[in-house]
Amino acid sequence: MSDIKVVKTKKFFVVNAGTTSSSGLDASEASSGSKKAVGKSKTGPECKEKSSAGKSDSSNKAISAPKSFARRDHLREIEKRIQQKWIDNEAFKTQRKSDKNGNPIPKYLVTFPYPYMNGRLHLGHAFSLTKAEFTVRFQRLLGKNTVFPFGFHCTGMPIQAAANKLKSEIKLYGCPPVFPVEEEKQSNETEEKSAESVVANKSKGKKSKLLVKGMTKTVRQWDILSKMVPEAEIPLFAEPEKWLSYFPPYGVSDLKSFGCCIDWRRSFITTSINEYYDAFIRWQFYRLKEGNRIRFGKRPNVYSILDGQVCADHDRASGEGVGPQEYTIIKLLVLPPYPPASPLNNPSLAGKKVYLAPATLRPETMYGQTNCFVLPEGSYGAYEMANGEVLVVSERAAKGLAHQDYTKEWGVSVLLQSLKGSDLLGLPLKAPNAVYERIYTLPLLSISMSKGTGVVTSVPSDSPDDYAALRELKEKPLFREKFGLTAEMVEPFDVVPIIEIEGYGTTSAVTMCERLDIKTHRDTEKLKKAKEEVYLKGFYEGVMIVGECKGMKVCDAKPVIRQSLLESGDALTYLEPESMVMSRSGEECIVALTDQWYLSYGDPEWVKTVSAHIHSDRFNNFHDKILERFDLSLSWLKEWACSRQFGLGTQLPWDKQWVIESLSDSTIYMAYYTIAHYFHGSSNAENLTGSSSASGIAPEQLTDEVFDFIFLHRDLVQPSTIPLATLQAMRDEFEYWYPMDLRVSATDLIPNHLTMSLYNHVEIWKDRPEMWPLGVYCNGHIMVDAEKMSKSKGNFLMLLECVEEFSTDGTRFALADAGDSMEDANFDRSVANNAILYLFTEEEWFRGVLTDYHADSLRTGELSFMDKTFSNEMDFQIEATKTAFEQMMYKEGLVRCWFDMMIARDIYRDWSTRCHIPMHRDVIMRFIESVIVMMSPITPHWCECLWEALGKDGLVLDATWPVYTSYNKLLRKQYLFFRDFMKNIRLAAMKVKNPADKKIAHVYLANSYEPKKVTMLRYLQTIINSDGSFSSDLMSQMKSYLEGQTDLKKDTKILMQFGAFMRDEAKERGPDALASEMAFDQKAILQENSVYITKALELTGVKFYNVEDSDVPGDKKKMDTAVPGKPAYHFFS
């Protein structure tokens, strides 16, 4: 610290490079940043270590100088020293603990989804990670024996696919490769799920969007690796084993630099290269199969033709969470004879029935068919099915059909004749359920060939698009003649009413087109709006008026009508992904029926058990929205393909041609953590694969019986080669640490990993529900400076990059400030920069106080009003911080334990300085120690350093939460009154332009309201919310109330204005603002502190008056503005 100059001024200790605040209350409020604008200090440009973009600020020469990074570099030196101290003290090494009576000390097990090791950790990992990191440190302060284990995920397709891709690039383009020059183009296409899709997947919500990004320039694996790996080493990554040995150690070092309190003895990587974990996963799957949770059969799955296997979420480049969607193909028979020039006269089609095959999500509407649409320029084909029938569809759809058991050879489509859409126009068709005996094929220019089959059946009664297109063909003869269509193919076909919707009639599409004045098929936005409205209304509220289900609601009729079409042979089931899915191999996926081992998620009794657990008092979901997301996932997550024939991982033990996929091998590994140190056991995480057992146990000794003994509390049927004492110790470890107290994750894992984890825990420990997870916390994603993290925007931040630029504790501070809810949070780089200043400055101030403490310069003895209110405010903030941390509201907790504590300190410090009264030793030392302990989960290195400076034994990590008593509510009201008084009188003084006019101040105090206003306040007290807010229709509520009160009605206008004023007061001051009279003597408090008030405002005198007294001198208008708790002021010379 000798390189940092500390100056003692007549006010307080400051650092010559800038302070957390300047003198006085304004400055203390600036330093706090307040709850609304955390970290926005008014300390001037010299406070920033770097600009928000991470570059030197050219507008400030001081920043560009090397010394401008001294504060950050000072923090980094502390961090490195403290991290070594933790290592030397084995601070994070955890084990079972008992008290002096032999009773287990309460424990707390926190876990975090192990990150995938195909690259370095970034800020997104760090944000979610901090929720676990802060919590495990906080729980340790509460006296619990905590453990935070951490593994690294390598299972599945991504690493294998990337290695294969690199190998292919080297083979094609050399080493180093010389790639062909390509022009880069990027497009962002937002694909909205249609209303039809919503109807088909109502369990997943009625509105959603998928952003599909397309780049015409090929993304090269070599180029990706070149940003992370020395070029000479890149060729080694053509083998997947290199990835497993290269990136996990960087994950360890990055997390160590971030100060994580991880027990590294329990760390490991997945896949069969780790034979211990491999044995654990085999045991897990045997137990799932034993419970009939794993079954075999053909099931629809998103599938990559190129990879030749199912493409699960972790195998995808895009489209995570997208599943199969079920369509109904309607078979529209092409009626012979075919036109002489038609390609359908190809001999290969002779004697075969040819069908145009539109795919629909609304088979119940087929009664209203008037025609069929194709894209004139679209490419189609006549494909032969296994039963000899020929379907006319797009090539894309033909691939899907071939993989859904409709062709003679699975996966092979048989093309008999290529066709253009124009070849199909004017063909007569026989449509199932249609009232017309024959309909015709017509053109529609808006058909997408990348969705469905490229063929669209037309129901203009309920489809605005169909109605607009058909009407245009009817009204524009020249337009239809352009496609060789005659009048008889179009004009006779009127709209057929099939569904009645209240408010829309029996032809809802016609109604909406008229309402929105839709003229042509080019009115795309209007048509989109019309479609969204009538499709949802029709499905959920419409009633069938024709057919076998006449009188039934459409949503109930759909499955009945669909089944009839399937049974009659007029339709067939067709599946494709809900929206585009791209595999990591770079191919668009289809849906295939595959022989597959699958987990039977969705079994009713399994769902019921999981649901009952998460809705029980034993389970902490932290946010109602988290529980809602789990309920939603349980409603739609069904059979899950749990094995692959390609990728890294554990072989399915009873069918070794299959490898267990990456989501399925990561559901109960939290239990493995409890005994992992027996196999890996290195404090430096140097034995991630278990190549040298820490306990002498060999992988082959870990039989299913051994795992049953450890995890299921079963007896050993046959003696194990592992010593019984060791087995018992491992069982005791599991029994001590389980169940898992907290799982922390981002929200995007709720639909898969987190729900699957609950399912698996419930099954594996079905006889021991006390072992099921106790809590799950989920957060949103992280943005940087209010923008989504993106490499193209230059704001994609790696974890180590943040540590080096903002320091570890500065980064952690900003991440705590980023947000608490499930909504996306914001990492503000200016907050991280300001955090450097805050920590640096407060360290120096704390050390200055310690100097005074050792010099006996601090006051002792009786406590003054300011001592008492400051100490009482500490009680309040310590309790509020504890409450926030218990709820994992770390942004709120940071406001309490840092910013609000500093505001209280600044007021106390300013009073001490201006009144020349030394701070009270016990009060200020309690403040310093409390801040250090409360901030230690967030800024542990800074706190550990100052814990040393306090001369405390041991580590702050092992300190106890600050002692507090229930705060004195009356005393806190007095404190808040005085705090707000000082703030407001300062603002009032600033508005006086001539300094000579503010030498003396009169302060006017009101202690009560007139009776009518008291009545109004009592009414407002009955409708105010606990946070000081009112409902949006408050004005209407007040008006209705006043008009019903005979004695108040005539004063409605005045009392409405008063009510609006008090609404604003309550918003600022809380519900106490509505008190009808003061609970304490305002005047006495101000008179006791008149010396401070005079000096703080640089006055020559100040006087206080109760406005209820007689003969109060001064400005009458000013007096009238005083209300209880909010004095008025008058300045004069």
- pLDDT at residue 196, rounded to an integer: 53
Do 1022 and 1031 touch, CB atoms closer than 8 A?
A: no
Instruction: Return d(Cα 962, Cα 928) in angstroms, integer.
Output: 11
- pLDDT at residue 29, rounded to an integer: 32
Residue 706 in 3-state DSSP?
helix
Residues in the chain: 1133
For the chain, the first-to-last Cα distance in angstroms comes to 48
Question: Alpha-carbon Rg of the chain, whole angstroms?
Answer: 36
- pLDDT at residue 68, rounded to an integer: 65
Instruction: Return d(Cα 277, Cα 1065) in angstroms, integer.
Output: 61
Q: What is the DSSP string of 831-860?
A: HHHHHHHHHHHHHHHHHHHHHHHHTT-SB-
Amino acid identity at 722: I
Q: What is the DSSP string of 525-592?
A: HHHHHHHHHHHHHHHHH-EE-SSTTTTSBHHHHHHHHHHHHHHTTSEEEEEEESS--EETTS-B-EEE
- pLDDT at residue 794, rounded to an integer: 80
Backbone angles phi, psi at 1121, to 5 degrees: -85, -10
Residue 900 in 3-state DSSP?
helix
| CA proximity to 91, closest of 152, 148, 129 | 148
In sequence order, the β-bridge partners of residue 439 are 429
Token output for 297: 């059969």
Instruction: Return d(Cα 610, Cα 606) in angstroms, integer.
Output: 6
Instruction: Return d(Cα 319, Cα 577) in angstroms, integer.
Output: 9
Cβ-Cβ contacts under 8 Å for 953 (sequence gap 6 or more): none
Instruction: Return d(Cα 121, Cα 119) in angstroms, integer.
Output: 7
Tally of CB atoms within 10 A around 559: 12
Tally of CB atoms within 10 A around 594: 21
pTM over 0.85: no
- pLDDT at residue 195, rounded to an integer: 54
Residue 330 in 3-state DSSP?
strand
C-alpha distances out from residue 1028 to 970, 1022, 1057, 1071, 1123, Å: 18, 12, 18, 5, 18
Instruction: Return d(Cα 46, Cα 840) in angstroms, integer.
Output: 13
Instruction: Return d(Cα 915, Cα 917) in angstroms, integer.
Output: 5
Residue 238 in 3-state DSSP?
helix
Stretches in the chain below the pLDDT threshold 50: 1-67, 185-193, 202-216
